[in-house]
Structure 1
């Protein structure tokens, strides 16, 4: 159902900490103009847990207006199942094309709790859903056997695979074939995941470097892995910035330099400063200075 590059977009704030509608529109449009295949709002990179429901729905509306008919997914990530269900229902009423569901944001659910929560949320929203399996950040692992248990419900259509174990993509495909659209959710494992059968990439650094991200994906799908690998090797130091406790600050700082945006974040996060800011800015500057010329692709 879904495939390609789907940015997990950042959320742009104004100087008074509210949403900056115009800047969100501009940044979302950059993704679409580069050839991305959809948008995912209010995720980890989008500071979703720091947003009110009204803000989430406003961002959904902005994304829908700029997505050129491509799918826009709302991330559902809340402390309680009841709140997650409320978000899913509201997103459906506001025109979301699908949901990306985090099983549990704070409490580390066991197998039964994880499955029951996913089923409750997809029932509440009654939309196609991507299961977000991220045992590193959220300590809840949606395993292939759990995916098999959920497979009879056709509303579960995709997996965002973020276990940080490249073997997992093959394990899912070996066990379930093409039942799910498997997306890689770890930027610095994207080439590897696409090489073993992932059909999509929920990307982070794409918000600053969309054309390079799309080029890697399209070249891989065209069977031009050597060309994709050359770009990926250049990209890797940047992609590593997505795998960090400071991923939001890192990626927004990349947006400052690459697309002339800003790095405002919502408290308790604060923009990088001092030696860490200098380190990240050097990674970005080095990449910009050696930015590759992209080949043509379909």
Structure 2
């Protein structure tokens, strides 16, 4: 069940559920895992940015990885292993793979500036965790402040056979997808899976440019599953109609600083997790923000019954 370049569909970015006092909520973790997979997600990506990974210690990270992997059965679980040093990265990567993970995801540190520095970093990361572990290259310049050109991504892919997927979160990034697919068509880059993030904000057009699906954490991942399915089937208008109905809530959830609070609030309202709590330091929605989210849910509920939460 290891990750490879044929991966398609939705690999939902999972938050880490906490109790109000900051303890990991194991019951919510199980319920969340069940919901995501029953909704049609091909897999899950855990311990990413929205999983509050930096707030977990090494033992907690490994334990929650093992719990979700056990619960998920045959579904593919990708574990975010980004760390300041390679020793911690290797420990979590090897431990997660031993537990049955499908692969790992590695983000670049924000100190990288030149193309050669980026390429060298990923070569060193592969050497540290082992070339036998499939990995996802995370390209998120808005957050990590590391600019990866299509040419740099091609160099990393060609130099490291264990790189099987790109998590594409550039903005604007549609031309980057087209360029990468062009490299593969001309034979200068081997095929890889491309899954897209950014809360699904550009997903309908990203699919049309050649993306294989989504790797993001919008509070309605079941909608993302439907959108990817419709796009893959060539039902363009139906895919755009569905996306347009959700766009106001997707946009609201994209706000830096409170995006995770919005997402967790809606997941809690849907009964998927028990609490919207984040582990400190973390944000919380004020009364006005809650009212705005409820307004958006009510409007969405006119066209999508999943948003009719009572």
- TM norm. shorter chain > 0.5: yes
Number of the residue aligned with 1:52:
57
Gaps of 5+ in 1: 294-298
Q: Go from structure 1 to structure 2 and tell me whether the alpha carbon gap of 1:83 and 1:143 turns closer, same or farther (over 3 Å shift).
A: farther
The equivalent of 1:198 in structure 2 is 211
Worse overlay, 73-82 or 167-176: 73-82
Output aligned runs, 1:166-185, within 5 Å.
Answer: 166-177=174-185, 179-185=191-197
Q: Distance in 2 between matches of 1:292 and 1:18?
A: 33
Deviation string 1:209-267 (CA, Å, 9 cap, x unpaired) is 23221111111111112211111111111222342212211110111222353211011
Q: Say whether 1:229 aligns with 2:237.
A: no
| Residues 1:121 and 1:86: Cα distance change in structure 2 (over 3 Å) | farther
Q: How does 1:1-298 map to 2 (within 5 A)?
A: 1=4, 2-104=7-109, 106-126=110-130, 127-150=133-156, 151-165=158-172, 166-177=174-185, 179-186=191-198, 187-205=200-218, 208-245=219-256, 246-259=258-271, 261=273, 262-291=275-304
Residue 267 of structure 1 aligns to a residue whose secondary structure is coil
Structure number with greater CO (CA < 8 Å, separation at least 6) is 2
Instruction: Tell me how far 1:43 sits from its aligned partner.
Output: 0.5
For residues 138-197 of structure 1, give each alpha carbon's deviation from its aligned partner in whole angstroms, at most 9, with x where no partner exists.
101222111221223210001011011122111211123462111111211111100111
Uncovered stretches (5+) of structure 2, i.e. residues with no partner: none
C-alpha separation in 1, matches of 2:272 and 2:11? 21
1:88-136 deviations in Å (ceiling 9; x for gaps)? 23333333210111011x4344323322222222233331111000100
Cα 1:275–1:20 shift into 2, 3 Å = same
Shift of 1:273: 1.2
Tell me whether 122-131 or 277-286 shows the greater mean CA deviation.
277-286
Q: Secondary structure at the residue paired with 1:146?
A: helix
Q: How far apart in 2 are the matches of 1:123 and 1:140?
A: 21
Please state whether the residue corresponding to 2:141 is helix, strand or coil: coil
Listed one character per residue, the Cα deviations across residues 10-67 of structure 1 (whole Å, up to 9, x for unaligned) are: 1101233121111101011101011100110001111112111211112211221232
- CA gap of 1:89–1:226, structure 2 versus 1, over 3 A, is same
Q: Match of 1:203, SS?
A: coil
Give how far 1:289 is off: 4.2
| CA distance in 2 between partners of 1:142 and 1:160 (Å) | 12
| Pairs aligned (count) | 290
Secondary structure, aligned partner of 2:160? coil
TM-score, scaled to structure 1: 0.90
Q: Pick which of 122-131 and 45-54 moved more.
A: 122-131
Find runs of 4+ consecutive structure 1 residues off by over 6 angstroms.
none
TM-score between both structures, scaled by the size of structure 2: 0.87
Distance (whole Å) between structure 1 residues aligned to residue 34 and residue 129 of structure 2: 27
**Partner of 1:137: helix, strand, or coil?**
helix
